[in-house]
A and B are shown apart, each in its own frame.
Chain A
């Protein structure tokens, strides 16, 4: 009897992620298209800023779809969303720090070892 009671309460206390199958199939299709697009960037031999911006665009779109739909982040409670998604943004600060560091190292190498990049 208690078993039945706890079962009946289950959906109320812990939110289950139940979404239509169609949604997953559509996202799956988009991920395939985006992957094909990013592969095409390389296949077509695009270069420079066009290449880099396209790579980043497709990467962000794919990552967003996976996190939001497949990992159900779009439906999670806001406290969890912020707790998980905000800290990785700090990695960008790290990236900025290491970019200036790497530029300095490259510059020193070119100055003192006379090599060109």
Chain B
């Protein structure tokens, strides 16, 4: 039963304003992010590394699209759906965007209710977020199978530059994987919230540490990040 003793110097010391404060935090002993828990700081650092991964994917896509001499397929037409005999451009992607934004909204509310210690509402909102996330993945599966049926492969497609297929499968596939992992993560945390783990300070199965409602916020950071990445994919891959 080793207990770690944390020292909290953040509140006792006066912090200079602005950049001087940042320099003071970074040059202080032991702990740079004074009032930020290790869990949240680590999630942010993980998200930062993930930013670079998606950044590299999007830069690779930009390079491929700029350097090819073959015309790039028009995403507006490729992702159009015929609904009621009318061809609507990019409609599926638009619906997916709205679904993901809605899930971000419910997640933000879940974090809020978590800190109010309203565990029922928190768990329900998290489950709703998970359902919306799963809907997003389902629509992506539909989109993938539709494109595969139309003959899109990582090495060729019927409309133009061959790199279209490889970048599409790579970027949306990686994003979809993130959403799937997020849904699983959501279900696990929602179960903990529902059971009241954070009220009774039950120790975690894996880490043997007591959790608190900040876990919901950290989960939320991951989920909002997934939505954030989609904002960039939507802008650069589907709309550009």
A residues in contact (CB < 8 Å) with B = 3, 10, 12-19, 21, 24-25, 27-28, 31-32, 35, 38-39, 41-43, 45, 51-52, 55-56, 58-59, 62-63, 66-67, 69-72, 76-80, 82-84, 87-88, 91, 94-95, 98-99, 101-103, 105-106, 109-110, 113, 115-117
Q: Is the CB of B59 within 8 A of A98?
A: yes
Q: Is the CB of A77 within 8 A of B34?
A: yes
Chain A: which residue is nearest B69 at the CB level? A115
Docked CA distance A52–B62 (Å): 14
Q: Nearest-CB distance from A77 to chain B (Å)?
A: 6
Query: How many residues belonging to B are interface residues under a CB distance threshold of 8 Å?
Result: 68
Task: Decide yes or no: A42 and B108 within 8 Å by CB, A77-B36, A83-B32, A98-B63 being known contacts.
Answer: no
Q: Is the CB of A80 within 8 A of B33?
A: yes
Q: Is the CB of A63 within 8 A of B69?
A: no
Q: Is B89 an interface residue (CB 8 A)?
A: yes
Task: Decide yes or no: A79 and B22 within 8 Å by CB, A14-B37, A70-B108, A102-B63 being known contacts.
Answer: yes
B residues in contact (CB < 8 Å) with A = 8, 10-11, 18-19, 21-22, 25-26, 32-37, 41, 44-45, 47-48, 51-52, 55-56, 59, 62-64, 66-71, 76, 89-90, 94, 97-98, 101-102, 104-105, 107-109, 111-112, 115-116, 201, 212, 214, 217, 220-221, 224-225, 227-228, 231-232, 234-235, 238-240
Q: Is the CB of A35 within 8 A of B8?
A: no
Q: Is the CB of A106 within 8 A of B67?
A: yes
